[in-house]
A and B are shown apart, each in its own frame.
Chain A
Amino acid sequence: MVDTGYDEWIEAIGAGEGYYLDCPEDHGSLPPRRTCPHCGALELAERPLPESGTVETFSVVHVASPSFADDTPYATGVVDFGPVRLTGVIRGIEFDDLEVGTSVGVGVEESETTGEPVVVFRPR
């Protein structure tokens, strides 16, 4: 399935050229987007995603949906990059060492179950 807006975004993340959308009031959001979800502005510009973010919350998932069945256990988290937050899988750190506030970078890797692209955070 082609998802215009999202597909380009995740390819850019994978190429190390991640971006977010910025409105004239400096509200951040992610594509596909025609209007700022915060103020309704229609003028949205692509801006580079900051290189690192901090883990704001996380979970270690033991029971997954079928598309992540072979990935378990895996950590997911919401990471604050300043203008936007991203959600993804956290790799490259022992679960016991993972904590709120951990600094991570973002990339795109494959789901172990399906091979589909997944937003992945790794400590940096």
Chain B
Amino acid sequence: MTAVRVAGVGLTHFGRHPDRTGRDLFAEAALAAREDAGVPREDIEALHYGNFMGALAERQAHQGPLVAEAAGLSCPATRYEQACASAGVAARQGIKDIRNGENDVVLVGGMERMTNLETAGVTESLAIAADELYEVRAGITFPGAYALMARAYLSQFGGSREDLAHIASKNHHNAVNNEYAQYQREVTVDEALDSPPVAEPLHLFDACPITDGASALVLVSDEYAEEHDLDAPVAITGSGQGGDKMALQDREHLAQTPAATKAADEAYADAGRTSDDVDVAEVHDCFTIAEVLALESLGFYEPGEAIGAARRGETTRDGDRPVNLSGGLKAKGHPVGATGGSQLVEMTRLLRGDHPNSDVVADAEVGLTHNAGGTVASAVVHLLEVVN
């Protein structure tokens, strides 16, 4: 099978850029990825681009061709909307393109502009990732939906708000030296515990922030990399996607995310790997409880066991399998439509040695990214490996 190499990666700073247009944000990330890859503009054959709420936030739909133009590309460009997994599915489509022989060079990534809206507007916009009839009209917000999962988890398996606070503290610690992160500052467990409630049992510091930003990667076929003598030591070797019922009330489980398990199983089989092979992971921690659910769905822990992983030091930077060395969505920020791409960017940098936290995982060979949509009605998992 045609291997898929990551030839180049680019990010904007994740944070508040309310005065910058989405097209400008994506252009910055795309140009950085192109420069990192050293691939001629005219060789890029397709753009797969993730965006969630642009039609609300910027009154701009049909963003594919718009951002392609901004990035200096003249190729077919398609926007993918899968809520918070938009860039994950966009990247997956680009990977499929290369694997099926349709293209040798593609640009993938995503963008979200959020801070130009008031908090109420963002809350309303994010809520449309839930079931409009049966969840939004019933007063469910996005934090509220994850709060329902958190309560269900704590009720079924045990664990405490303090366990969750350790996840927040860990991820903030990891973001301190990540120049792209929204919050390069420490948060103590007590600070997290004492932050105001948003949707109990979740408090402010259990939640990711509202973020603007963009991510981009140039993906190439193995043949193209060899032919052009590219320095591209990281390959995407596994890709998987899973789905579940849209509304929480229709799910078999309220405290498990089987869509992520399906995505992971597919990605592991694709790469010929198991969860034991994964050295380092970037998982979708839009809320602290989401990291717990992810670690269990990915096979790193049995159901009910991951709640204490950060507190026990197993997923911290000096643990056996560090999770969210970028700072995660929690501290790095969560520009919804860009996030899945940013996880691939961060993992590529971690594995090839040019991430500020690469020294934490100097011997790592296999990395995993997990990108979830909504309350994990959809999930995309990728495996990345150092291939030379």
Contacts and interface: CB of A to CB of B under 8 A. Distances in A.
B138 to A, nearest CB: 4
B254 A118 contact: no
B155 interface: yes
A29 B254 CA distance: 17
Contacts, number: 103
A67 B135 CA distance: 13
A107 to B, nearest CB: 13
What secondary structure prevails in chain B residues at the interface with A?
A: helix
Contacts of B158: none
Given A87-B138, A88-B138, A100-B151, A60 B200 contact: yes
B334 to A, nearest CB: 16
B94 to A, nearest CB: 31
A78 B123 contact: no
A58 B151 contact: yes
B157 interface: no
A62 B139 contact: no
Interface residues of A, number: 35
Given A69-B120, A100-B155, A64 B141 contact: yes
B76 interface: no
Given A6-B133, A66-B124, A118-B138, A84 B249 contact: yes
Contacts of B151: 57-59, 100
Contacts of B124: 65-67
A121 to B, nearest CB: 10
Contacts of A88: 138-139
A59 B148 contact: yes
A49 interface: no
Given A63-B199, A65-B124, A119-B138, 9 more contacts: A60-B199, A61-B141, A62-B198, A63-B143, A67-B124, A68-B139, A78-B152, A87-B135, A100-B151
